[in-house]
Amino acid sequence: MRRILVTGANGQLGSAMRLLGATSRNEYRFTDVAELDITDEEAVRRAVCDGRIDVIVNCAAYTNVDRAEEDEATADRINRLAVGNLARAAAAADATLIHVSTDYVFSGDANRPYNEMCETHPLGVYGRTKLAGEAEVEHSGCKSLIIRTAWLYSEFGHNFLKTMLRLTAERDRLTVVFDQTGTPTYAGDLARTIFDIVESGAYAGREGVYHFSNEGVCSWYDFAHAIAAEAGHTQCTIEPCHSSEYPSKVERPAYSVLDKSKIKTTFGVGIPHWMESLKVCMKNLKNL
């Protein structure tokens, strides 16, 4: 029986992992900041080494892109320092760390999907601190899988899906940016992929960086249209607009499409199209 520590267990991905963990014969230990402060190196060491953990799945992250520009210290503690704590504890315990990262490590000015060998160039604090977290993992020497994802949404927490469901129900007209392109990624699909890798033990000897998102490509405008249509919010007219009409504290990547070839080939992962997964998520949301 494996012992698996999941951090950030109250977030979107962690909540999806919690549902899957309940079906396993392995021992999953779900923690968030109330149970384990991952910025406390000694607490992390005790949890991992004394707890005889075999696999750590790090779902914790500081993800508020705009606020990170004003509070780099906090973003750095969670996205870099805490990740280093987990990585060093994993190395000491001979455990494997599965760390979730982001497309924001890229500049977003490409015209073809980013693979794992593409040059990184983050545009702001969030991307820089996430990339620094990846470096902490690599420098620790621990056995690790770094999985970059993009445009995550789910039934849980605050995300684009829930915002669009609320706004398209309340308003007759809405504008959404059309000049940012990527792939909406259902947290349930990413959680299932991580869960299957852990349950099968397929992570052993396959360390490295991987990319995961759903299949297909769209803009935020397209995604908003699909959400409204699926919810039956036909009274709301959704119109396209430029990113410049919604200025933010940091530039968003204009192109967030990831190449999933490596993870599909290495682990035999089957990945559904984002529109199929949206339907699944909406159904699950109604059943909560």
Residue 126 known to be catalytic: yes
> Which one of 28, 126, 203, 255 is the catalytic residue?
126
Residues in contact with 145: Cβ distance below 8 Å, sequence separation at least 6, in sequence order? 96, 97, 98, 99, 197, 203, 206, 207, 208, 209, 210
**d(C-alpha 120, C-alpha 115), whole Å:** 10
Using only C-alpha atoms, the chain has a radius of gyration, in whole angstroms, of 19
Long-range own/partner contacts, residues 263-272 (CB < 8 A, 24 or more apart) = 263/147, 263/193, 263/210, 263/211, 263/212, 266/206, 266/210, 267/193, 267/196, 267/197, 267/202, 267/206, 269/193, 269/196, 269/212, 271/189, 271/193, 271/212, 271/213, 271/214, 271/215, 272/189, 272/214, 272/215
Could you give the CA distance from residue 165 to residue 277 in angstroms, rounded to a whole number?
16
Residues known to be catalytic: 126
